[in-house]
Amino acid sequence: MPFSNVFQNPFFWKTYFSANKFSYNSIPNLHGKVAIVTGATGGLGYATVVALAAHGAHVFLACRNRVKAEEAIERAQADILQLQFDFPDAVHESKFDGEKSRPRLEFLELDLSEMRKCRAAATEFLERGLPLHILVNNGGVLHRDFELSEDGYEHHFAINHLGHFVFTTTLLERIRESAPARIVVLSSLAHEMPPSHKPIDYKTLRATTPQANNYSRYGQSRLANVLFTKALARRLRNEQVWVNVVHPGIVDSQVKRGILESDNRHFKNFSRTWLMMAAYPVRDAALTQLYLAVSPEVEQNDIRGRYFIPIANELRPHPISESVDAQEELWAYSEKAARGGNRVHLHPQTTSLTMNDTIFSTQRFRRKCLITLGSLVFVNIAVWILAAIAARNYPSLLGSMVIAYTLGLRHAVDADHLAAIDNVTRKLIYQDSSVKSQEGVGRDDRTTPPVCVGLFFSLGHSTIVIVASVAVAAAAASIENKLETFGETGGIIGTSVSVVFLFLIGFFNAYVLYTVGRELQEIHKTGEYRYRDPIKETLAASAEETSAGAPGQENGNVGGSDDGGVKRNASRHQTGGLFVRLFRPLFNLIDRSWKMYPLGVLFGLGFDTATEVGMLGIAATSAHAGFPTAVIMIFPALFTAGMSLIDTLDGVFMANAYGWAFVNPVKKLWYNFVVTFMGVIVAFVVGIAELLGLLANRLELEGSFWEFFLTLSDNFGLIGYVIVGVFVLTWLFAVLFYKYGPIKDLEARVVVIEEGSSESDEGHDLEKGKVSRGLRSDHD
């Protein structure tokens, strides 16, 4: 029930709690410490700033109004001296004496109502190069009339939670580097106000009309503070960063006066009855968050993820705040809300920052897809306009034009196309997510997935058709009867290339499947996820061999690091087994989308499918009938336009499907296993079918077994449709399993530890906590 702990509340025992053992004399020497306090120009925030600065800390006042901040800094000079006078037993590095020795107080512009400004404020601080030992998320609003923030969220939730979420997670790398460190989050007893069965109604947070009264909306935001604190504390449970949440009590400050001046009748009644009895002086109320920010007891007793009330006493919050599901639901929602910049995803233990909800849902990816697909649609329309113009003069060709375009659409779903595009897309995404983070990319140079894999493959494939069509049109009489002979010769080459490539990429994905399956076993067995990246290992091993003996690099370690973890990783590279050494050339073979073009050319050498032979047959027949060469070239143009459109759509779809599996190695590990398994099956099934079909055809083998594969080779389009359907169903299954399966509970209890991180690994350094701010896209 709401306010279930009200009779345990300190308001009823103010005198007892005021006699707490923690006081300003208990604050240790803070010289050399750097702190940020949000909402620091008045009330609790200002009192916290004064106390921290009086004990030697370098304090940043994070707030919107520069004028008010400068006034607060000026006013603080006298208040700091007064505090030192009132508590002479406090330990100070030095006594401040007016202008001779001024406390270190600075203004940091922070607007909690806009997430981009929160991110900008954090970035401004990071650029200073200072450590950060104390972060007090004190800022907030209370009982505001309904309005939406600049980002479109209910104002209480936006300022009290979302702004601090973005600000804190952006600073988290620096906080971890500065450990031991503290994070204190301000909440309220009002966090018990929302209904316990559904504490935060996420559907109402972006509603354009009020869906609840002011106090309920405020209560939702304060419950979010408690849930966020507990979720963050769990992720940092093995770090020297202590995160706790505080209810400061009713404070005789501007916030309290805001309540009393409210037009809400319920607030006025509540205020008249209780507030004046329970109100704390600001200086006393600040002691609880100061206790959590600086007291040695927090580290000594490993106090983390706890809820404290005045003065420095622990209290159990509302039971719903202990729910891991509720915590993770808020975290996921906050991540999605923060899409304006880097998506924040903190794995338990590593606390590594990753990309947006998926890197494939970023504006850059959508823009890239829109440009690519829009261009292809425009090309298709333009080709059909030319075809319509030609059909006006040669109406008998219209049927052949439709057939040519249909052949292109159908040929795009041939099994060899889908297998090549899907597996290469997966390889590029896996490689990019694993390797490019070592290149030290910038903030605005983020990853976009390989959109053009299918496009370049289809263009390479179509090149042969276009060249052959030109040749056919130029020499129709002599070539028309030899198409089948050319098809047989080219078929051997094209099918051989296809089989070899599919087997190699199939073995590559089989190795990845093995590592993923091994990780699943380790998770269930040990409760830890020790992340090992096969592609990263392989390419790092190649780098070691290349740089062996180079100045500043001993024993082949990348970057010359002598870190123990890197040496262990290098050792594993050297003993990585047959697969790591055997497929190293393959990993370096196709590392950009455009390199699918020559592969498409090789695939196109085989005119073993009815579509391509039929396409050339149309061209030959038309040329023999005396149609102009320019008109005849409309047929391969239609064929290419249709095939490129479908192949590009396939590549984009698989980029989304595969990319979804790489955002979080725990949450998506099961999906990764399933979709990789499908990729392996497709590669081997198609490769074996092509190989056996080729053998049966060239060696003239007989029997039902060989006839089956001959029939299969002549009907690869049917296999292609099956592959498309299976991948769609697999993707939908993974999405549903993620939403309704036990993945969130598994993620909550599993500790993620990436092995082999070096100091140059910006996204996954366990010891240094490097931040992945997005990866560079140079596929296309």
Q: Give the pLDDT of residue 432.
A: 59
The overall average pLDDT reported for the chain is 69
Q: Between the CA of residue 88 and those of 27, 72, 83, 107, 624, what are the distances in Å?
A: 12, 23, 8, 28, 107
Q: Give the pLDDT of residue 3.
A: 42
Q: Which two tokens stand for residue 476?
A: 């129709």
CATH architecture classification, 6-251+281-327: 3-Layer(aba) Sandwich (3.40)
pLDDT along the chain (780 residues), means of 10: 42 45 83 92 88 91 91 87 71 46 83 90 92 93 76 86 92 92 90 64 74 77 92 91 89 53 55 60 85 92 90 84 86 81 37 38 71 90 91 79 74 63 72 48 47 84 79 57 52 61 71 76 64 47 47 36 36 36 50 79 59 52 63 83 85 67 55 68 73 73 73 60 67 68 58 45 34 33
**Domain map (residue ranges) of the chain:** 6-251+281-327, 371-532+581-750
Contact between 358 and 734 under an 8 Å Cβ cutoff? The reply is no
Residue 200, by phi and psi: left (phi above 0), alpha (psi -120 to 50) or beta?
beta
Q: Give the pLDDT of residue 38.
A: 94
Q: Give the pLDDT of residue 303.
A: 92
User: Residue 211 contacts by C-beta under 8 Å, 6 or more apart in sequence?
Assistant: 201, 204
CA 258 to chain centre: 39
Q: Give the pLDDT of residue 515.
A: 77
Output the 3-class SS for 592-620: CHHHHHHHHHHHHCCCCCHHHHHHHHHHH
Helix (H) or strand (E) holding 419: helix 415-435
Integer Cα distance of 216 and 142 in angstroms: 11
Q: Which two tokens stand for residue 311?
A: 């003065």
From the list 411, 442, 485, 486, the residue with the least C-alpha distance to 650 is 411
Integer Cα distance of 117 and 617 in angstroms: 63
DSSP output for 376-395: HHHHHHHHHHHHHHHHHH-G
- Quick: pLDDT tens for 546-592: 444 443 333 333 333 333 333 333 333 333 333 334 444 544 567 77
Contact between 640 and 466 under an 8 Å Cβ cutoff? The reply is yes
Q: Give the pLDDT of residue 551.
A: 39
Q: Give the pLDDT of residue 582.
A: 43
Q: Between the CA of residue 204 and those of 145, 155, 219, 236, 379, what are the distances in Å?
A: 15, 12, 14, 30, 44
From the list 367, 422, 362, the residue with the least C-alpha distance to 650 is 422
**Of these residues, 218, 280, 291, 405, which one is catalytic?**
218
Neighbouring C-alpha atoms within 13 Å toward the C-beta of 550? 13
Integer Cα distance of 326 and 304 in angstroms: 18
Neighbouring C-alpha atoms within 13 Å toward the C-beta of 631? 22
Q: Give the pLDDT of residue 759.
A: 34
Q: Specify whether 597 is catalytic.
A: no
Three-class SS state of 546: helix
Q: Give the pLDDT of residue 626.
A: 63
Q: Which two tokens stand for residue 173?
A: 């790398």
